[in-house]
Structure 1
Amino acid sequence: MADYNTIRTGTAAGARVGEVDAGLRAHMNKVYGTMSVGTFITFLAAWAISGLATTADPSAGVAQISSDTYLTQLGSALYTSPLKWLIMFAPLLFVFGFSAGINRMSAATAQTVFYVFAAVMGLSISSIFLVFTGYSIIQVFLVTSIAFAGLSLWGYTTKKDISGWGSFLIMGVIGLIVASIINIFLGSPAIAFAISILGVLIFAGLTAYDTQQIKNEYIEHARYGDSEWLGKSAIMGALRLYLDFINMFMFLLQLLGNRE
């Protein structure tokens, strides 16, 4: 963990403390701004795709999913054909590819790829508008936003070093992924409930952890003045917090959402 107090009291670095503080604020604003745009793109894409995938006209539908809602041909392809498996795992594959290739991208390209990823995520979660009521989606989104803001603020301001949480939280994420894949085939409500509770707790911890790590990484590298690295670092920071938010939202929706 970068020692911010050392940076503040050192002779050479102390002379630049105002610059570091201003740079850190700008960096975090970039992180949160990029994450917010990505989140907006995701939910806009999810809402638009769900609208194209359903219809109230029986003659235009190919499968009935409720008393007055039918799947269109697009909806049938997205949600009932084997294509649904590709859509389900596409964001995970995208994240691995993005993380592996970002060093070969410019900051501008990385930001564009992040927004494309956000749209892909929107496609992947678009079925929530078929499963849950619009009111409950908005309600859970607001609850997630408040929780995320509080956790991220704590991670940013706390003097406690929580870097030790990282390995346990990553192990928890891997366990969630494995358990979720297994439960796709088991379909156990009890396992799904347990996964949702653990998911909320794990991504709540990751929100605070990632925020502190993003702050510390900036402080550690700001002295080198590498604007290209800092630009890409902001994009990766936005990606980390974006994933924390989306996953926390999805697990809370499973727990609190009202189904259609």
Structure 2
Amino acid sequence: MSFDSPSRFPAREQVLVRGASDVERRFMSAVYRWMTLGLGVTALVATAVASSETLLLAIVGNRILFYGLILAELALVIWISAAVNRLPAAAAGGLFLLYSAINGATLSVVLLVYTGASVGIAFLTTAGTFAAMSVYGTVTRRDLTGWGSFLFMGLIGIVIASLANLFFRSDMVSWVVSCAGVLVFTGLTAYDTQKLRAYARAGGGAAAAPVSGALSLYLDFVNLFLSLLRLFGNRR
């Protein structure tokens, strides 16, 4: 019978830690790749629709089609999130890219309402803020789990206020919602990043998990971008 020398345990622990770090790194790399691909598809489709009078009239000019696309977006988000443990990676990726394309079509009006300079500045500001908060979610030793309930309540409040403002059309409510959106989605970026890394470290092995994670961060990015654009963007 042989026994491991106590001096060998630290080395073994280092191997385990290194292995966990590699798994986490590969998982997050896949998440960011999918997220970047989704943003690229959204940008391309939004530009294509905004540049085509025919497509623009077909989508934005038809209320039934426009709201049908929005409902399709909601259905896809729910589907991907709910079926993450059952969907094959390829199917989840296809659904995510379909969602990104539909979102690009519905967001094409943004390119018409705001100046190109405003869109560009808002995008760069969003990218910088997102990167900073994602890094914070990675390096901080603080457990951000406690943020979840507050951020979720803030998100529900934003949704309710936005729906109510469809009828009241108050500039003040719109401004407050946009400010709240910046705070909530900035916080969600750090929160979701830490949550995804914890999932990877815990050995979460669902094939579609990187796509589901990419969807979460994609939504944080897009909603932060829209909130900043509404606050600081110049209309045409």
**Fold shared, TM-score > 0.5 on shorter chain:** yes
What whole-Å deviation, never above 9, does each CA across 1:197-219 have from its counterpart, x for those lacking one?
A: 00010000000000000001111
Task: Say if 1:88 and 1:124, in contact at 8 Å, map to a contact too.
Answer: yes
Q: Which whole-Å CA distance do the structure 1 matches of 2:193 and 2:84 have between them?
A: 20
Q: In the alignment, is residue 26 of structure 1 matched against residue 2 of structure 2?
A: no
Give matches, 1:90-109, under 5 Å: 90-109=72-91
CA shift for structure 1 position 10 = 8.2
CA shift for structure 1 position 77 = 3.7
Q: In the alignment, is residue 121 of structure 1 matched against residue 103 of structure 2?
A: yes
Task: Say if 1:91 and 1:124, in contact at 8 Å, map to a contact too.
Answer: no
CA shift for structure 1 position 12 = 6.3
Aligned equivalent of 2:43: 43
Give matches, 1:18-167, under 5 Å: 18-52=18-52, 54=53, 72=54, 74-83=55-64, 84-167=66-149
Task: Say if 2:80 and 2:212, in contact at 8 Å, map to a contact too.
Answer: no
Give matches, 1:7-26, under 5 Å: 14-26=14-26
Matched AA of 1:251? S
Aligned equivalent of 2:214: 238
Matched AA of 1:45? V
CA shift for structure 1 position 173 = 1.0
Greater shift in the superposed pair: 96-105 or 27-36? 96-105
Paired positions, count: 227
Question: What are the ranges of 5 or more consecutive residues in structure 2 without an aligned counterpart?
Answer: 1-8
Task: Say if 1:152 and 1:207, in contact at 8 Å, map to a contact too.
Answer: yes
**What RMSD, in angstroms, separates the aligned Cα atoms of the two structures?**
1.8
> Relative contact order (C-alpha < 8 Å, sep 6+): which is higher?
2
What whole-Å deviation, never above 9, does each CA across 1:78-105 have from its counterpart, x for those lacking one?
A: 2233223223443223211222233331
Task: Say if 2:47 and 2:108, in contact at 8 Å, map to a contact too.
Answer: yes
Matched AA of 2:232? L
Aligned equivalent of 2:193: 211
What whole-Å deviation, never above 9, does each CA across 1:162-201 have from its counterpart, x for those lacking one?
A: 1011111112111111111111111111100000000010
Greater shift in the superposed pair: 9-18 or 145-154? 9-18
Aligned equivalent of 1:247: 223
> What secondary structure is seen at the aligned counterpart in 1 of 2:202?
helix
CA shift for structure 1 position 239 = 0.7
> What secondary structure is seen at the aligned counterpart in 1 of 2:72?
helix
Greater shift in the superposed pair: 182-191 or 17-26? 17-26
CA shift for structure 1 position 11 = 8.4
The alignment-based identity, stated in percent, is: 38
Task: Say if 2:84 and 2:209, in contact at 8 Å, map to a contact too.
Answer: no
What whole-Å deviation, never above 9, does each CA across 1:39-63 have from its counterpart, x for those lacking one?
A: 11111111111111x3xxxxxxxxx
Question: What are the ranges of 5 or more consecutive residues in structure 1 without an aligned counterpart?
Answer: 1-8, 55-71
Task: Say if 2:73 and 2:103, in contact at 8 Å, map to a contact too.
Answer: yes
Greater shift in the superposed pair: 41-50 or 17-26? 17-26
Task: Say if 1:90 and 1:124, in contact at 8 Å, map to a contact too.
Answer: no
> What secondary structure is seen at the aligned counterpart in 1 of 2:221?
helix
Q: Which whole-Å CA distance do the structure 2 matches of 1:199 and 1:19 have between them?
A: 37
